[in-house]
């Protein structure tokens, strides 16, 4: 958003500021690629000497909108910190975040969606169905064995499992082996990724039941 504010400055103002000062200004606000952005902005300003009608008014409007968005982002960051603080107070916080891919925010969503315990979910299948990760039969008088995604399920909880699954493929050897095994079975990338959240339901259900944290199981090696 700071980049938007930079490009919204009038060309004359950018030329007066200069690339070095603009770069310093951007770096102080932790903007990525500050040097490249400053150079590109000042170079573009150096090539533009024709004043556009309403240029100053538009630049001011964009600048104001950018400030409002930045203020909103700060409020969101503050809210995220509050959510994390409340989540850390829960007795299952360490258990839930031990699952690769689940941090305080997704963990907070998990607790908010499930109530923070397994009273309503006596089996992992019940939890999977609640999250929309267990297909339900859709049979008719002439056919049977047809399975479809349930029409009613908790979308936020499903998001927790899908989002964390995508992250876990890169960070968790167990998830990666599961994904690779599905690919070896002929599954496409999307199919392999979609299969992982259902497996993770079983894992987190068992962890909560036993009040224990997730551990990466080392691959089995045969003695020489």
pLDDT confidence band for 67 (50 / 70 / 90): confident
**Among 69-73, 127-131, 142-146, the least confident range:** 142-146
Tens of pLDDT, residue by residue over 187-220, are 888 888 888 999 999 999 999 999 999 987 654 4
Q: Is 15 exposed, middle or buried (0-12, 13-18, 19+ CB in 10 A)?
A: middle
CA–centroid distance for 224 within its chain: 43
Mean pLDDT, rounded, for 81-108 = 93
Specify the pLDDT at position 151.
67
Share of the chain above pLDDT 90, in %: 41
Q: When comparing pLDDT for 140 and 66, which is higher?
A: 66
Q: Which residues contact 74 (CB under 8 A, 6 or more apart)?
A: none
Share of the chain above pLDDT 70, in %: 77
Q: When comparing pLDDT for 148 and 176, which is higher?
A: 176
Which residue carries 């199919």 as its tokens? Answer: 191
Closest CA to 150 of 130, 170, 169, 123: 130
Mean pLDDT, rounded, for 128-144 = 67
Helix (H, G, I), strand (E, B) or coil at 149: coil
Q: When comparing pLDDT for 22 and 104, which is higher?
A: 104
Each domain of the chain, given as residue ranges in start order, spans 2-88, 93-210
Specify the pLDDT at position 59.
67
Mean pLDDT, rounded, for 163-187 = 92
Please provide residue 168's backbone torsions phi and psi, each rounded to the nearest 5 degrees: -65, -25
pLDDT confidence band for 119 (50 / 70 / 90): confident
Alpha-carbon torsion (192, 110, 173, 163), positive or negative = positive
Question: What CA dihedral angle connects 124, 91, 105 and 109, to 10 degrees?
Answer: 40
């Amino acid at each position: 958003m700071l980049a938007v504010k930079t490009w919204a400055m009038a060309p004359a103002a950018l030329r007066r500021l200069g690339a070095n000062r603009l770069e310093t200004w951007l770096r102080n606000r932790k903007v990525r690629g500050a040097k490249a952005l400053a150079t590109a902005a000042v170079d573009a300003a150096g090539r533009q000497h024709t004043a556009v009608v309403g240029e100053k008014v538009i630049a001011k409007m964009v600048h104001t909108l950018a400030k409002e968005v930045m203020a909103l982002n700060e409020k969101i960051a503050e809210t995220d910190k509050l959510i994390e603080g409340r989540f850390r107070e829960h007795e299952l916080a360490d258990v839930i975040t031990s699952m690769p891919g689940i941090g305080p925010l997704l963990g907070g969503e998990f607790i908010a969606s499930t109530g923070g315990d397994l009273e309503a979910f006596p089996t992992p299948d019940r939890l999977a169905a609640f999250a929309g990760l267990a297909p339900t039969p859709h049979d008719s008088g002439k056919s049977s064995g047809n399975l479809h995604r349930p029409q009613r399920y908790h979308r936020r909880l499903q998001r927790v499992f899908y989002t964390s699954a995508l992250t876990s493929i890169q960070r968790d050897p167990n998830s990666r082996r599961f994904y690779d095994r599905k690919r070896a079975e002929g599954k496409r990338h999307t199919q392999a990724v979609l299969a992982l959240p259902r497996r993770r339901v079983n894992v987190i259900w068992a962890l909560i039941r036993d009040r224990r944290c997730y551990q990466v199981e080392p691959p089995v090696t045969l003695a020489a």
